[in-house]
Amino acid sequence: MSDVLKMVNELRDRLFASYGNPLATYKKTQHDIHMSYYVGKLMEEQGHEWVSCKMKDGETRAHYSEQALNDAFLAGKLLAKQDARELRKRIIAEIKAELNDAIDDL
């Protein structure tokens, strides 16, 4: 095995040891399934193509490149940041409204 592949495998092992498998006990929601279609469209828009493979169990599955996986991960991170930002804004607006009501009641 080349030195680069050895380094990549060691990095993968260290990251997995650090983060574990958060999907192991996660129960998918309908929203998660819908987001899969969104990510498929996003990958298409980014120019990523998928390869269709027939599995041993007879099912056909789509496989994307490592770069496509990286783009999907990054998109998820960016969407999570956007969701968190919007949630913070709503919380702050609610706190401001409560403070204004409290001041008005003085």
Tokens coding 88:
């913070």
At CA 63, angle to CA 61 and CA 8, rounded to 5?
Answer: 140
Would you state the torsion angle of the CA atoms of residues 48, 53, 58, 60, taken in this order, to the nearest 10 degrees?
20
Helix (H, G, I), strand (E, B) or coil at 54: strand
The string of pLDDT tens digits covering residues 35-61 is: 989 998 999 999 998 888 888 999 998
- Domain ranges within the chain, ordered by starting residue: 3-104
Q: In angstroms, rounded to a whole number, what is the distance separating the alpha carbons of residues 98 and 88?
A: 15
The string of pLDDT tens digits covering residues 63-89 is: 899 899 999 999 999 999 999 999 999
Query: Which among 25, 93, 57 has a CA at the least distance from the CA of 101?
Result: 93
